[in-house]
Amino acid sequence: MLFRNLEFAYVPVGYNWLERFILNTQHKKALKRACRKGLPLLAANERVAFDLHRYYRVPEERVKVIG
């Protein structure tokens, strides 16, 4: 499962509350699905990997940075 951008979580100015809610819900569902199926969690860069750990409490060893 590839995660490219989580800026809605830490730069909310560009998003209204509904957009942030929808994006957050989609990311939570994707994380649960990937963990249940044992899929690798791929981050586009170090910032996304850090955000996955910070906002969604994903263990750092589960995330692989590809960019």
Task: Give percent of the chain with pLDDT exceeding 70.
Answer: 100
- For the chain, the average pLDDT equals 89
Residue type, 11: V
Each residue of 3-39: pLDDT tens digit?
888 888 888 788 999 998 999 899 899 888 888 898 8
Domain ranges, residue 61: 2-65
Each residue of 30-58: pLDDT tens digit?
888 888 898 889 999 999 999 999 989 98
The number of distinct structural domains making up the chain is 1
CA geometry: angle 65, 7, 40, nearest 5 deg: 30
Q: Is the pLDDT of residue 1 over 90?
A: no
Per-residue confidence (pLDDT) for residue 3, from 0 to 100: 87
